[in-house]
């Protein structure tokens, strides 16, 4: 009896199914081309995303490395607790900042630049060798009509060093190196 019911149900179900209309090879080929085009586009997008992912990972590594370096540097920074030690620390820091500022203010802060200075050079030649002076003064002394002053704390001791170049009729007549 079960076999009969099974056979009848199979017969009824197959008779109810409608047959699909015949599909031509050209239609199948067109649909396959569409699918392959979409797959190719997806592969291209995945490739771009993977390369961008690699770039992002490299940037994250660089940032992490920099962050670790900053953490290590900040751990080695010691700020004293005692008031006198703290004041001394900040004074030394201030002197170092002023010293670096003076060293960066031009070629006058280098010993080699002063070794090229000699009598009879023009103002233009001095500016070329030492840079622009920090101050230009007129002199009341005979045989000196203009003075170029260069000054700054070059050695970080809190005292300014001075370089002086004296001119008479646009020529160096004397000079004093800060070194």
| Ordered structural domains, the chain, with CATH | 92-176 (3.30.1450.10)
Q: Which residue has the higher pLDDT, 110 or 105?
A: 110
Q: What angle do CA 34, 40, 48 make, to 5 degrees?
A: 145
Predicted structure pTM score: 0.49
Neighbours of 174 (CB within 10 A): 13
Q: What is the mean pLDDT of the chain?
A: 84
Are residues 142 and 115 in contact, defined by beta-carbon separation less than 8 angstroms?
no
Please give the C-alpha separations between residue 7 and each of 15, 37, 95, 100, in angstroms, as whole numbers: 12, 45, 104, 100
Summarize pLDDT for 2-33 with one digit per residue, the tens. Answer: 566 556 665 555 555 555 567 788 888 888 88
Please enumerate in sequence order all residues whose Cβ is within 8 A of that of 72, keeping only pairs 6 or more positions apart, or say none.
none
Quote the radius of gyration of the chain (alpha carbons, Å): 43
Beta-strand ranges (E) seen in the chain are: 135-138, 146-152, 161-168, 171-176
pLDDT on residue 160: 87
Residue 77: pLDDT band with limits 50, 70, 90: low
Distance CA 142, CA 28 (A): 107
């Amino acid at each position: 009896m079960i076999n009969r019911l099974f056979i009848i149900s199979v017969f009824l179900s197959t008779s109810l199914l409608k047959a699909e209309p015949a599909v031509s090879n050209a239609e199948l080929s067109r649909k396959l081309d569409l699918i392959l085009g979409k797959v190719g586009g997806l592969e291209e997008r995945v490739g771009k995303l993977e390369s961008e992912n690699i770039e992002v990972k490299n940037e994250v590594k660089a940032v992490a490395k920099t962050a670790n370096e900053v953490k290590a540097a900040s751990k080695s920074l010691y700020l004293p607790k005692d008031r006198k030690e703290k004041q001394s620390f900040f004074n030394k820091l201030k002197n170092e900042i002023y010293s670096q500022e003076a060293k960066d203010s031009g070629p006058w802060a280098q010993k080699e630049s002063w070794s090229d200075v000699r009598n009879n050079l023009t103002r233009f030649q001095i500016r070329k060798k030492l840079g622009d002076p920090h101050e230009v003064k007129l002199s009341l002394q005979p045989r000196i009509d203009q003075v170029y002053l260069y000054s700054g704390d070059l050695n970080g001791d809190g005292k300014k060093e001075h370089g002086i170049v004296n001119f008479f009729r646009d020529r160096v007549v004397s000079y004093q190196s800060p070194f």
